[in-house]
Amino acid sequence: MNIAIDVSNTAQFRTGTEEYIEGLVFGLNRAGVQVVGVGRETQALLPDKPRLGLDLRKSPSPVTKWWWEYFGIRRAPHDVDLLHIPFMAHPESRLAVPSVVTVHDLIPFRLDQYRRNVKDRRYFAHIERALPYADRLVAISEATMADIQDLYPELASRTVVIPNGVHPDFFQEVDLDHINQVSRRYGLRQHPRVLYAGGYDERKNVGTLIQAMAEVFQHRRDGELVLVGAQDNLAVRRMVGEQRSLEGRVVMTPFVSRSDLVTLYNSADLFVYPSRYEGFGMPPAQALAVGVPVVSSDIPSIREVVKDYGVLVSPDSVEQWVEAIGRILDSPATTQKLVQEGQAYAENFAWEAIARQYLEVYRHVVKERRG
């Protein structure tokens, strides 16, 4: 099959959507499918090259993004079998070729703070009007599918569930010398090391984690909390500064490459993820693949990903976070079996297998359109 995928939003390769695009293209390539990127200059995507062979660039301006999603995408190549739009950005018309749209989550439609201004409300109203024009929607979790059924039941019949994948880099062993080298570069010095990787907007609930770690470190001489990507986040710095017990115990890194992120996971004794709302929960899946114990929020999407291979606690219960973190740090040997089973389970998220599910959807949609 000849597949095109919309890469118009790719820029710095720091977002979950960009990670998703990289992984999907990798998996499709291993299944024998060459994918063309559209939305920049049309070109073959190279899964074995950094960032699929695409250059880093500034994020597109709102006007550029708007023009492409409303009009430009309609000019996508007509000599492909199918166009995959890996985010909710279909135009308000049927396209000349079959189209598949990925629905990662319905955060803007569930949480009011994501559509506070007129511009956001107009944009998301456009998304609502446009989604019915896609030939098929893919929800990345049963939790996202449940949201679709709840908010847009008329779209449920054309939606399939295919879980997100984990990039193969997270399944590779990392040399101990390299782990130590990367740890030193980011100023990491102590164990046990508790790692958080993810965003820092309100729903990520990092404030609860900081409160919990402040209590944990009141009773421990050693240990550090690593917040990946928080270096320039003033709100996080303020929250950390308010906790005396965290002085000298928190390392905030800049954004890191995937190679360094994999290494940081491998350096950690525990991974924590306190989010209140997710479409899938990629970081906990990555931690399971690496083989790091996981404590995460007990919310539908993460429960679906982590299952019984990590410890799930109420997102906003500082007491539960303190207890769970302390339990794992106090008895690392007892978590070894859980970690080993979690790594084996994480193979279900290998992109090679996930991509085959996408291929089945692609073939069905193309056949359906051709009648």
For residue 70, how many C-alpha atoms fall within 13 Å in the half-sphere facing its CB?
A: 11
Strands 43-44 and 35-38: antiparallel
Rounded Cα distance between 269 and 271, Å, is 7
In the sheet that holds 43-44, the strands lie side by side as 43-44, 35-38, 3-6, 82-85, 99-103, 136-139, 159-161
Place of tokens 């709100």: 235
Distance CA 363, CA 371 (A): 12
β-bridge mates for residue 35, sequence order: 3
Instruction: Say yes or no: domain 3-165+350-370 is CATH 3.40.50.2000.
Output: yes
Classify domain 169-348 at the CATH topology level.
Answer: Rossmann fold (3.40.50)
Residue 157 has φ and ψ, to the nearest 5°, of -70, -20
The sign one gets for the Cα dihedral 158, 163, 165, 166 is positive
Task: Please give the order of strands across the beta sheet that includes 270-273.
Answer: 250-252, 224-228, 193-197, 270-273, 294-297, 311-313
198: tokens are: 């993810």
Instruction: Dihedral sign for Cα 352, 15, 223, 186, please.
Output: positive
Residues of the chain with CATH 3.40.50.2000: 3-165+350-370, 169-348
Name the stretches of the chain with pLDDT < 70: none
Specify which residues 100 forms β-bridges with.
Answer: 84, 136
pLDDT on residue 180: 97
Write down the number of H helices and E strands in the chain. 14, 13
Largest CA distance in the chain: 68
Distance CA 45, CA 55 (A): 11
- At 191 the pLDDT is 95
Least Cα distance to 349 among 167, 225, 157 occurs for: 167
Q: Taking Cα atoms as reference points, which of 205, 220, 148 lies closest to residue 321? A: 205
Per-residue b/e over 256-272, b at no fewer than 16 CB within 10 Å? bebebbbbbbbbbbbbb
Structure confidence at residue 79 (pLDDT): 86
The dihedral of CA 148, 304, 323, 235: what is its sign? negative
Please tell me the predicted confidence (pLDDT) of residue 112.
84
Interhelix angle 351-370/16-30, rounded to 10 degrees, is 80
- Predicted TM-score (pTM) of the model is 0.94
Strand partners for 138: 102, 160
